[in-house]
Amino acid sequence: MKTYSISEVAKILNLTVYTLRYYDKEGLMPFIERTSSGIRMFKETDIDALRIIECLKSTGMPIKEIKNFIDWCSDGDSTLQQRYNMFIERKATVEAQMEELKKTLELIEHKCFYYETALEAGTEDIHKKNKIEITY
Amino acid sequence: MKTYSISEVAKILNLTVYTLRYYDKEGLMPFIERTSSGIRMFKETDIDALRIIECLKSTGMPIKEIKNFIDWCSDGDSTLQQRYNMFIERKATVEAQMEELKKTLELIEHKCFYYETALEAGTEDIHKKNKIEITY
DNA sequence: TTAATACTTAGAGTTAACTCGAGGTCAATG
DNA sequence: CATTGACCTCGAGTTAACTCTAAGTATTAA
């Protein structure tokens, strides 16, 4: 079974070796095996696990909470409910984030339009009722 | 014209007074007027400006870059192009973030399904070809 | 066999974004 | 006229997530 070095994994996942070692130090990678001389050997399944970690991270989950999940995984079937609950909760937060982003995008698109017309007019004043105000 | 105190604005925008003062310290609020005794008086337009700041922040823009934008606003029409470019760029990053989130959501939904079936079966083993592996 | 290269650890340093404490001012109320 | 509460500044402290340095080990290539 092929294994990967830390720098190979860093390249694959677009992370730095520092970050990977930091994750290991924080207990996010209890599954990584080592050579007799202590060098980490990453299996394909380890890389998949890291992808899940990255996925959770991208939902804004702090590393300490991700560690809880990793610990539950090591604990086996007795923690299935917790893990399920966690993903259901994550699903809700991501959906909320998408809603947030949608609103953000709308405001930004409005501003794009605002500046487009201001550029055409050569001045922002066309958007101001009262020309003394500055609109941010 | 009605004005608001810092604590009122904090309540409206769901921020702390500490955060608002921090933004001011960082130069994000050069437009806020003060009473003769130095107390900040927020106008409606100031609150709108803060909403834009929050919007930019929610796209992941660091405060120093938001400050650039605020400075451009104070500089007037000569910076219209920069500000337009900035919003176009923000639009692109938000769209990329939405794509990212979509993928994240798919993975999470997959995991919800994974744990749902595992819970029904009472064990995670049903998902494993090789029952010795742990799947994270 | 020696040089280069990639790995190891422990622990210190960095950065962003708050977050707060101390000490002070000011306006209103009993 | 003293007290209360909301405001002020300055600067220190906190936290998360890296990011890096130093000192050392292991593997390969000439």
B18 touches strand C (CB under 7 A): yes
Provide the CATH number for the domain around residue A71: 1.10.1660.10
| Confidence at residue A133, expressed as pLDDT on a 0 to 100 scale | 55
Domain that holds residue A66: 6-98
Per residue in A49-65, pLDDT tens?
Answer: 999 999 999 999 999 99
Place of tokens 């742990």: B134
Residue B65 in domain:
no
In this predicted structure, the answer to whether residue A98 has a pLDDT above a threshold of 60 is: yes
Please compute the mean of the pLDDT values over residues A24-29 and round it to a whole number. 98
Residue A46 in domain:
yes
Assess whether B4 and B54 both reside in one domain.
yes
Residue B64 in domain:
no
Residue B73 in domain:
no
Lowest-pLDDT range, A114-118, A125-129, B39-43, B66-70?
A: A125-129
Helix-strand-coil split of chain A, %, nearest 5 = 70, 5, 25
Scanning residues 32 through 51 of protein chain A, those with a beta carbon under 7 Å from any atom of strand D turn out to be: 35-38
Assess whether B2 and B50 both reside in one domain.
yes
Residue A43 in domain:
yes
| Confidence at residue A135, expressed as pLDDT on a 0 to 100 scale | 61
Query: How many beta-carbon contacts under 8 Å exist across A and B?
Result: 129
Question: From the alpha carbon of A64, which nucleotide's C1' atom is closest?
Answer: D16
Assess whether B47 and B5 both reside in one domain.
yes
Tell me the C-alpha distance between B43 and B95, whole Å.
32
In this predicted structure, the answer to whether residue B130 has a pLDDT above a threshold of 90 is: no
DSSP character string of B70-98 = HHHHHHGGGGHHHHHHHHHHHHHHHHHHH
Assess whether B1 and B47 both reside in one domain.
yes
| Confidence at residue A134, expressed as pLDDT on a 0 to 100 scale | 58
A41 touches strand C (CB under 7 A): no
Q: How confident is the model at residue B129 (pLDDT cuts 50, 70, 90)?
A: low
Assess whether B52 and B87 both reside in one domain.
no
| Confidence at residue A128, expressed as pLDDT on a 0 to 100 scale | 81
Domain count of the fold of chain B: 2
As beta bridge partners, residue A104 has none
Report the alpha-carbon angle A76-A34-A5, nearest 5.
Answer: 110
In this predicted structure, the answer to whether residue A129 has a pLDDT above a threshold of 80 is: no
Q: In a mutagenesis test of the B interface, which of A58, A133, A136 is the best target, namely the one with the most B β-carbons within 10 Å?
A: A136
* H or E element that contains A41: strand A40-41
Residues of B in contact with A88 (CB under 8 A): 112
| Confidence at residue A1, expressed as pLDDT on a 0 to 100 scale | 83
Residue B70 in domain:
no
Tell me the C-alpha distance between B114 and A115, whole Å.
47
Residue B67 in domain:
no
Please compute the mean of the pLDDT values over residues A17-38 and round it to a whole number. 97
Assess whether B38 and B8 both reside in one domain.
yes
A67 touches strand D (CB under 7 A): no
Residue B129 in domain:
yes
Lowest-pLDDT range, A19-23, A128-132, B25-29?
A: A128-132
